[in-house]
Copies of this chain bind each other. A is one copy, B any other.
């Protein structure tokens, strides 16, 4: 095709794909072919009701046919009721019942059953997301970003964010890293998957996980071809003196064990790092709620003990929103190449706009103010929960509340068994998980009284008091 013959496909009011070739080949006249193609597009729902069609001039030019042929075809389809033509507003697709574009039966949506009160853990109060501040930061970031910021770039992520995170993580969590050892990933989900794949490349076949943890993480580990080997827990966190020799690394939640809430003691931290050094293994530190600590002794990241043996994993899922899918790994030097290579194969790099925006949010100080506001909010909720339980269900022991967005409620021996308790909760419109749901795979059920994991951040503010009341009601008779 020579260039001189091209006609502006670009004169369209909106793009429209109409194929007349086949119909013409089958012997149809131009007008009939056009009518037929348009009718089919409306019938199939490819042209949605209300859609404005290109002008007859534009469509004629585009298809290389006489304008009048288009006018006639539009007229015919208007007469048939497919199109609607009104003075001044051009020709549009008629707003009548047309089949939806669904060519197959609609699938059932996979979403959570709508409980009245969501007390499952793991998510923040989404009404706190700083929409205005985020948009303002996005505007500032896009105003100054060079064009190449919108291009493919390093699999590690945008340098702007890695620089901002280097300082932020050092300041807030004591992490020792630099932009060359930070990798931005699409949630800790992806970060953990990449790490497991990298560990498997270097020969690992198992990952040690805490006795209680996050079942979706266990699934990720197994999908990466590693088995999970459990580490027992006690009041000082994971029993790292009992680390399995088969494990290529251990996944820990040192600041606030998930979900039991213990903080890993200084001795245990040192011991885990010693194990990693001596056995040429790694520690993966999942700092999932590191910003939310309510007491006077904030626990820094254990990564600082040995940045070459501890991978630090952080996320914006709690401080901003899970939907951002914006998380990061501070990597030992030896893992940068394999993890970055696997990231490039997985999705080239993480999306850039949110990265630029978060970098701006952090460096402008807005992020700090936002986290502070959230911390006050969650502490107040925690205090409300604790006070209500002390008053209405004093037999329940509340633990793990020095940090984070959830609490563990331990019931006394002889209480209603967990499955029955959960069934009653469902009936009362409460969505929550038992502690046993969090138990690592391949472990026998624990011989302990029932316990619930309560996420107190998620319910909207106006339903929180009612949610707490419903919970107390449930526990009073448990």
Give me the interface of A with B, judged by CB distance under 8 Å: 1, 3, 5-10, 12-19, 21-22, 41, 44-48, 51, 62-64, 100-104, 106-107, 109-111, 123, 126-127, 129, 131, 134-135, 138-139, 142-143, 147-154, 166-167, 170-174, 176-178, 180-181, 185-187, 189-190, 193, 216, 219-220, 223, 266, 291, 293-300, 307, 321-326, 333, 336, 345-354, 365, 368, 371-372, 375-376, 379, 382-383, 386, 401-402, 460
Contacts and interface: CB of A to CB of B under 8 A. Distances in A.
B15 A171 contact: yes
A87 to B, nearest CB: 21
7 closest Cβ pairs, A-B complex: A46-B170, A323-B352, A150-B321, A186-B347, A126-B147, A102-B178, A190-B347
Contact of A294 (B6, B46, B101, B354): B6
A322 B149 CA distance: 10
A362 to B, nearest CB: 10
Nearest to A7: B296
Contacts of A167: 45-46, 48, 101
A352 B333 contact: no
A335 to B, nearest CB: 13
A107 B291 contact: no
Contacts of A386: 3
B15 A371 contact: yes
B325 A349 contact: yes
B325 A17 contact: no
11 contacts: A8-B376, A46-B176, A103-B307, A109-B154, A186-B350, A189-B345, A189-B347, A323-B351, A325-B349, A351-B351, A354-B354
A302 B353 CA distance: 32
A171 B46 contact: yes
A386 B14 CA distance: 28
A348 B214 CA distance: 14
Contacts of A5: 295-296
Contacts of A19: 174, 298-300
Given A295-B6, A300-B17, A345-B193, A123 B147 contact: no
Contacts of A111: 153-154
A109 B154 CA distance: 8
Contact of A103 (B150, B176, B223, B350): B176
B186 A323 contact: no
Contacts of A382: 3
A342 to B, nearest CB: 8
Given A9-B294, A173-B17, A326 B307 contact: no
Contacts of A266: 21-22
Contacts of A181: 104
Nearest to A222: B345
A427 B110 CA distance: 57
Nearest to A127: B147
A152 B147 CA distance: 31
A15 B322 contact: no
**Best-buried of A15, A44, A266, A293 by chain B (most CB within 10 Å):** A15
**Best-buried of A12, A193, A353 by chain B (most CB within 10 Å):** A353
Contacts of A185: 347
B174 A14 contact: no
B189 A365 contact: no
Given A152-B123, A177-B101, A295-B5, A353 B15 contact: no
Nearest to A324: B351
**Best-buried of A223, A336, A386 by chain B (most CB within 10 Å):** A223
A1 B266 CA distance: 17
A52 B16 CA distance: 56
A9 B293 contact: yes
A101 B172 contact: no
A294 to B, nearest CB: 5
B295 A171 contact: no
B345 A220 contact: yes
Contacts of A216: 348
A5 B402 CA distance: 10
Given A5-B296, A103-B176, A147-B460, 9 more contacts: A12-B368, A19-B174, A44-B170, A44-B176, A45-B170, A48-B167, A103-B177, A153-B323, A186-B348
